Amino acid sequence: MSTVIKGGTIVTADRTYESDVLVEGGRIAAIGPNLSGDTVVDAEGAFVMPGGIDPHTHLEMPFMGTTAAETWASGTYAALSGGTTMVVDFVIPARTDGGLLDALAAWEEKATRQACSDYSYHMCVTGWSQTVFDEMEQIVARGINTFKHFMAYKGALMVNDDEMFASFQRCAALGALPLVHAENGDIVAALQKKFMDAGVTGPEGHAYSRPPEVEGEATNRAIMIADAAGVPVYIVHTSSEQAHEAIRRARQKGMRVYGEPLVQHLTLDETEYFNRDWDYAARRVMSPPFRDKSHQDSLWAGLSAGSLQVVATDHCAFTTEQKRFGLKGFPAIPNGTGGLEDRMPVLWTKGVKTGRITMNEFVAVTSTNIAKILNVYPRKGAIEVGADADVVVWDPDKSKTISAATQRSIIDYNVFEGFEVTGLPRYTLSRGEIVFADGKNDAPRPGRGQFVPRKPFGAVNKALSVWKDITAPRMIERKPEYMPIGV
């Protein structure tokens, strides 16, 4: 059985051209004019793009005394309906001194049974021990080449600088890429106490206790630690000019640093936390918080300038009922928002339609750059012969108003409620199967998604390790009388 995507304009990270796409055995078999196949997907008037990859999700994540309510089934289905064909989720060990393999088993149990889209994992390092050191190698052997470190969430997931340095060195040796949640956790904890003591107990206290400087400082520190360890580094949810500045400066110095703004930070600002409706404000509590609007210009500029490479969601969705755990004080509001379903339409509407980014940049930041950085290109992130046929047929004229009432996500609200978006998937194909056809084939199929293993030693790791070796400090050879006795 073959499928042909007919009459569309192919948009990749570097080209725009008219062509048909033939799909066989789940892969792209041919690209060219006048192709035919058993099933025809109508792409007339539409753009044919690589399916989106969301590099940052937390489906059913146990966190802050509860578990994110978005399930693997609902989250990956929401993703497909919005044009995202692969998610990369964070595996969190239950202990800080090991348990990486146990955690992976727990994630596999949930994902295998439920995933509608393909998926991959990042592993979190939440402490340091010989066991963590040993298990990291086994994790890499299992197809996971990225390790996330939290500089925030003191007393829970946070690691200290020495732990991070040890883990980064291990990443360098294994050809893996460290990821960092960059906020100074000690200062956040102190500011949380300060505002709680002052009676600022509502969601606005969340924003006040995590100012952009706290993120900028931690981003600089993470970059310095990565440089000392000789490893590239990927900063997740870059939300502020301060963090972007640190990334930009490092890149200009030749350092291998990546930055990942979220669609939320690009389009929503901190006034959301000042809403008089507690539920409204608490639903938007995530870390880092939404920022003053001025930061948005910086993030958009980073995407077009190339100093920021990818757009994610950090989808970590809690119900209103769960958010209300924080009525006793903002530090207890479960941190996280949603966006899996809306990332592509919102980015298209606020980015491509406004001329902030081009269609090709849109493909780069939602798919191709992510596949390259995570070392899964061109199997994913490409419209190329041999690539997985993860394709979105994007209708630039299709509009809707985002609303929790009509979304596929099972959460009872949506942070983009009321956004009018133009540019939506007409069809989404995953490994050649039509998994979403608006109004026609609109049902989740849990369990069809497959794990996508990712090999270590991407080109950037290799280049950096060669350069670091050439430029490493070396001892100066001196006459024997100047050498310590016995050497």
CA 76 vs CA 86, 133, 262, 419: distances in Å: 8, 32, 18, 22
Closest distance of CB 407 from ligand URP, Å: 19
Place of tokens 């989740």: 444
Minimal distance in Å, beta carbon 151 to ligand URP?
10
Judged by beta carbon distances under 5 to 8 A according to partner kind, the member of Zn ion, ligand URP, none in contact with residue 272 is none
232 binds, among ligand URP, Zn ion, none (CB under 5 to 8 A by kind): none
CB of 272 or CB of 395, closer to ligand URP: 272
Rounded to an integer, what distance in angstroms lies between the CA atom of residue 57 and that of residue 333? Answer: 19
At residue 456's C-alpha, the angle toward residues 75 and 180, to 5°, is 60
- CB of residue 397 to ligand URP, shortest distance in Å: 34
For the CB of residue 26, give the shortest distance to ligand URP in the complex, in Å: 32
Q: Which residues contact 76 (CB under 8 A, 6 or more apart)?
A: 59, 87, 114, 115, 116, 117, 119, 444, 449
Q: How far is it, in rounded angstroms, from Cα 424 to Cα 428?
A: 10
**Residues near Zn ion (CB under 5 A):** 127, 181, 314
Q: Which is nearer to ligand URP, 63 or 77 (CB)?
A: 63
From the list 125, 121, 127, the residue with the least C-alpha distance to 96 is: 127
Distance of closest approach, residue 180 Cβ to Zn ion, in angstroms: 9
127: partner contacted, choices ligand URP, Zn ion, none (Cβ within 5-8 A by kind)? Zn ion
> Rounded to an integer, what distance in angstroms lies between the CA atom of residue 218 and that of residue 198?
26
CA 300: distance to chain centroid? 17
Q: Which does 336 bind (CB under 5 to 8 A by kind): Zn ion, ligand URP, none?
A: ligand URP
- Dihedrals phi, psi of 252, to nearest 5 degrees: -65, -20
Which C-beta is closer to Zn ion: that of 10 or that of 86? Answer: 86
- Binds 335, which of ligand URP, Zn ion, none (CB < 5 to 8 A, cut-off by type)? ligand URP
Residue nearest to Zn ion (CB): 181
Site of interaction with ligand URP (CB under 6 A) = 58, 181, 286-287, 314, 316, 335-336
Residue placing its CB nearer to ligand URP in the complex, 9 or 184: 184
Measured from the CB atom, is 23 or 69 closer to Zn ion?
69
In the complex, least distance from residue 319 CB atom to ligand URP, rounded to whole angstroms: 15
d(CA 246, CA 219): 6
- The least CB distance from residue 287 to ligand URP, in Å, is 4
> CA 62 to CA 74: how far, in whole Å?
17
Place of tokens 């409204």: 280
Q: From Zn ion, ligand URP, none, which one binds at residue 185 (CB under 5 to 8 Å depending on kind)? A: none
Nearer to Zn ion, 338 or 351 (CB): 338
